[in-house]
Structure 1
Amino acid sequence: MARNGKRQRWYAAAGTAVLAGLSIATGTANAAPVAPETPDAPLTVRTDTGALRGASTDKARTFQNVPYAQPPVGELRWKPPQPVNPWQGVRDATKQGERCAQQPPGGEVAGSEDCLYLDVTTPRKQAPNAKLPVMVWWHGGGFTRDSKNDYNAERLADQANAVVVTVNYRLGIFGYFGLPGLAGSGNFGFADQIAALEWANRNAESFGGDSNNVTVFGQSAGSMSACALLTSPKAPGLVDKAALSSGSCKLDWPTGALFPGDRAHAPYLPVQEGQAKGRDVARELGCAPGKELSCMREKSTGELIPRMQDFADSLAYGTSLLPLNPSTALDIGKFARVPVLSGSTRDEARSFVAGAMLVKPDAVTSETYPKLLREAFGADAAAVEARYPLSDYPSAGLAWSTVVTDQSWACQTAEGNRELAKYTTVYPYQFADPNAPNVNQLFVPEVPQEAAHGTDLPYLFDLGGVDLLKEEPQRELGRTMVDYWASFAHTGNPNNDPNNNDEAPYWPELNEANPTAMRLAPGATEPIDFAAEHNCGFWRTIG
């Protein structure tokens, strides 16, 4: 699979003299002179709130910890993001900052409420007056953890020849808390994401970007937010494309799907439900009726952190930013008509099931499998068990994770893609590297991770600044994926040239005549019958 041709296209856009060089190499008479080398992009730029000084590496230019809103502390806790106050002089943007306040499972409290910052990464070399596509990344983490700091975008920006903006946003109780009468309830983290996207639109040209060519892309919670954005009245004029990884608007998990015994839920909930939950939490923390907001604002970060998980998957609808349930909005076609790239990993649920088994070793066994099915699917449990019999799998963990992957992730993503494709162009995919890096560090012999949730991330980003792709087949897949995402960001089509199959397998758009999805796997990148692989016809008969 030849890849250099596609990458040269994007570098050519930055001013490299590809055609002149070819002319000289072939000995053409009267060849045009080679153009001067593209210069290094300036390390000092001016934004709408002040000047920034960044840094450069061998392949990229970076500006770190750039404020896009005022610190949401004190009286600004649980208020929509407020504009940054302009600064004098040149602000140092060469050092990484805090992640938003959080507590990873089993870990220490980390971060700060003063966290509304973003990073900008561009190619190191950039032609004057460049108009590069802008790619705005919203990270995942269940709406309760992770940070822009975890996603080094130098390789992506360099190969894609794009401006990449990675964003922090408020998490958990700080981002999705609500109370009756509190403006912005359940939407503070979502409002942060939108404010960062607005910042990217306003300041794109300062970094060589094109404000008329902005792609929002995200994974897991970030993708659920990006999909929700498409249904928001804020979307028109703010986003031109969306790339959704493991986070469809149609996600809706049955009982026990994310953890045995966990309630059935979706990532979105009615604002009234979120407000009632916030009121209950405030009362449990000792706040008197009618004084919940002032009382909660007086509490320290440390006092609130233990209630973070109460506000996982709690992005509220029925609000000015999100009037409709995003799932309903897709059903009725009420969303922005922009090109969409959307997919999931082949083995999504293996990470959740393995994590549950580490916490509760007896949670998923041959004895508990029938009970898990009954709790999740009620009267349909017998049909599900007949379709997914334990005898077909090496372990109960693999059987249960296959059920949850197919029902809760794959087929609901496919449903969302079909709804989107009724009104806009959609490019579906499945990440399927069976030897992907075990980014979740889950080692449960009964549930090998393979292409589990989140294992696709190292193919686009160097997580924690480390390239986790150690074998050449994986590196080749990483180059292929970045090229597809880059082509999509540049043109709205992941194919470099829709009529050229020489550089990479052609990725067809979704329609009734072609219901396939692109499998992304080393040596096996090709369209597949995604619905058949995940038994989606069967799942349409359940529930």
Structure 2
Amino acid sequence: MEVWRLFAALCLLLSTAHATSLGAVYTEGGMVEGTNHKVGLFRSMDVFKGVPFAAQPGRFEKPKPHPGWSGILKTKDFAKRCLQLTLLQNNKRGSEDCLYLNIWVPHGRKVSTGLPVMLYIFGGGYLVGGSQGANFLNNYLYSGEEIADRGDVIVVTVNYRVGTLGFLSSGDSELPGNYGLWDQQAAIAWVHRNIRAFGGDAENITIFGESAGAASVNFQMLTPHNKGLIRRAISQSGVALCPWAVNRNPRAFAEEVARKVGCPTDAGMVNCLKMTDPVELTLAGTLNLKGSPAHPIVQNLVLSPVIDGDFLPDDPSTLFHNAADIDYIAGINDMDGHIFTGFDVPSVNQPIQSTPVEDVQQLLTALTRAKGPAAAAAAMQQYTSSWGGKPGKDEIKRTIVEIETDYIFLVPTQIALYLHAKHAKTARTYSYLFSEPSRLPAYPSWMGADHADDLQYVFGKPFTTPLGYFPRHRKVSKHFISYWTNFAKTGDPNVGGSEIPVFWPRFIGEGHQFVDINHNTGKDSVKQKMRSRFVYFWTTTYMSFPNVNETVSLPVDQYLS
């Protein structure tokens, strides 16, 4: 009987235990109050959704401080994403009033103080996306709860302008562009000024992002406007040197948008665009996403950052000295390029249909057009040297995916890592490859990790929705969260309190080591010189050919020599 009394008392204690909470928090704009819930025994989570970090932005203007509010602002729901096209590019969604962020704060027995901060920048080709990510049954992709709880860090996700309102540029000071990057920077600065009130360490902010968000992370490291605000950074499948990351001729697309909305393309263009309805401007910013081997869609991604002389005072490849004290992790998924090949060469995903060798030739000709036929022939020889006399159907398809992965993601990321390590003072540099095979059943059996496949693991979805995953997927998620949050705490992914599968060496010296992350990550997963033969081709052999008709999109000739 005594045992039952003790058991009942314990149950009562646990059921009535008061969850630790910050309550209402004071920010520079006023008081905010979120929600609080338990996440485990003696652990709770404060969540603040829709916290303003800037005022509603003016059309084609930099963000301005929020005017503030009286009373306590209830921050319990995600704000609308910024005005943008739908995925099919046939309608719009979102709002101009969109500069809000979300915060997850974990607590133990006591209210947290001095926690590292991880600020996430979403991807979406600079065309679509929002701070909460995709949603299925109230399960948001970019919920920071699993990272915050398992890693004991504060997680912040932010909105920023995309599409024409975020990145349209006339190529001069009239319409300089980069408004979405300025929004991200305003959010970083707001977090630096206000996060102490939420229990965060303002001097230990890590920014991380994927795809266009990953390139944005790199831009935020390189701009002089973030000096002293960022301690560490993680780029997942994207850097500022990617061929889609910078538009070097923004005027052409600005004029195309102007014609669509009835504006002139001469001296009056910018004033007319500024007076045009924002929905019209958004709908006019459609991109051509119908690729082919001869016209790959990577060459159509023209709504992107520009070298404006302000946020980016020069070519990104020359700005890595600004990141000399920012610790950096950068990596890719082993088949990141597959998402593009699905548009450019649809037969890649047809198990019965063969892919003609001519498609490989056309694709390489398109990607090497700046250097002419001799460079295309050299590329063809490089990528087919292992084929033998009669390549198999899958071998040809894998080769096409490798070509686009190398050109669009892998080679630029390796260059960025090299430049970061070369210019580092106190900063540390780490490289990774993610190779867990895609979970989508319709994909080919040889498929590896597609673009964005890493996100579900980084944000802990195998724990949030366990029935949708196998135990091996929870291992992958644990690896990511441990490495990422250790790094956020200490600048070293091996140190920080979370268990790791293998020691991750730095990207230094001649070895250029990296860790291969998947469910089997272990002692054999530390490797070196990622696809060095192909990195050498694109950075040295290819660059040795003279230009024949246009600016080369990979500015890398002198960096790996």
Q: Smaller-chain TM-score range? A: 0.7 to 0.9
Q: How does 1:292-441 map to 2 (within 5 A)?
A: 292-309=269-286, 312-330=302-320, 333-357=321-345, 365-377=356-368, 378-389=373-384, 391=391, 394=394, 396-422=396-422, 423=424, 424-434=427-437, 436-438=438-440
Equivalent in the alignment of 1:88: 70
Distance in 1 of aligned mates of 2:267 and 2:407:
43
Q: Secondary structure at the match of 1:99?
A: coil
Q: TM-score w.r.t. structure 1 length?
A: 0.81
Q: How does 1:47-126 map to 2 (within 5 A)?
A: 47-59=27-39, 60-72=45-57, 76-106=58-88, 108-125=91-108
Distance in 2 of aligned mates of 1:450 and 1:102:
31
Which amino acid in structure 1 is aligned with residue 47 of structure 2?
Answer: T
**Cα distance change, pair 534–114 in 1 and its aligned pair in 2 (3 A):** farther
Distance in 2 of aligned mates of 1:120 and 1:50:
16
Distance in 1 of aligned mates of 2:356 and 2:382:
18
Deviations 1:271-311 (A, max 9, x none): xx324542453244212444433432333333122333457
Which amino acid in structure 2 is aligned with residue 67 of structure 1?
Answer: P
Q: How does 1:238-249 map to 2 (within 5 A)?
A: 238-249=229-240
Deviations 1:515-537 (A, max 9, x none): 21111011134211342477323
Percent identity between matched residues is 27
Distance in 2 of aligned mates of 1:114 and 1:465:
33
Conserved? CA contact 1:101–1:113, under 8 Å: yes
* Deviation of 1:448 (Å): 5.9
Distance in 1 of aligned mates of 2:18 and 2:225:
37
Distance in 1 of aligned mates of 2:419 and 2:392:
33
**Cα distance change, pair 298–513 in 1 and its aligned pair in 2 (3 A):** closer
Conserved? CA contact 1:170–1:192, under 8 Å: yes
> Of 255, 265, 269, which residue of structure 1 is paired with 2:247?
269
> Of 504, 509, 512, which residue of structure 2 is paired with 1:507?
504
Distance in 1 of aligned mates of 2:501 and 2:396:
38
Structure 1 residue 133 corresponds to structure 2 residue 116:
yes
Which amino acid in structure 2 is aligned with residue 372 of structure 1?
Answer: L
Equivalent in the alignment of 1:44: 24
**Cα distance change, pair 409–371 in 1 and its aligned pair in 2 (3 A):** same
* Deviation of 1:123 (Å): 1.1
* Deviation of 1:426 (Å): 0.2
Distance in 2 of aligned mates of 1:514 and 1:38:
52
Q: Secondary structure at the match of 2:247?
A: strand
Structure 1 residue 496 corresponds to structure 2 residue 485:
no
Deviations 1:373-413 (A, max 9, x none): 22222322223223323616516432211112123321221
Higher relative contact order (CA 8 A, sep 6+): 1
What is the root-mean-square deviation of aligned Cα atoms in Å? 2.9
Q: How does 1:461-480 map to 2 (within 5 A)?
A: 461=459, 467=465, 470-480=469-479
Deviations 1:137-174 (A, max 9, x none): 11111111111111111101111111111011000101
Distance in 1 of aligned mates of 2:30 and 2:93:
29
Equivalent in the alignment of 1:210: 201
Conserved? CA contact 2:261–2:284, under 8 Å: no
Q: Secondary structure at the match of 1:234?
A: helix
**Cα distance change, pair 172–534 in 1 and its aligned pair in 2 (3 A):** farther
Deviations 1:350-370 (A, max 9, x none): 111124445999996434222
Q: TM-score w.r.t. structure 2 length?
A: 0.79
Conserved? CA contact 1:340–1:426, under 8 Å: yes
Distance in 2 of aligned mates of 1:183 and 1:542:
37
Structure 1 residue 278 corresponds to structure 2 residue 250:
no
Distance in 2 of aligned mates of 1:223 and 1:176:
16
* Deviation of 1:124 (Å): 4.3
Q: Across the two proteins, how many residue pairs are aligned to each other?
A: 480
- Which stretch of the first structure deviates more once superposed, 366-375 or 224-233? 366-375
> Of 142, 161, 174, which residue of structure 2 is paired with 1:170?
161
Q: Secondary structure at the match of 2:38?
A: coil
For structure 2, the residue ranges without an aligned partner over 5 or more in a row are 1-16, 40-44, 134-141, 288-300, 544-561
Conserved? CA contact 2:34–2:76, under 8 Å: yes
Conserved? CA contact 1:519–1:527, under 8 Å: yes
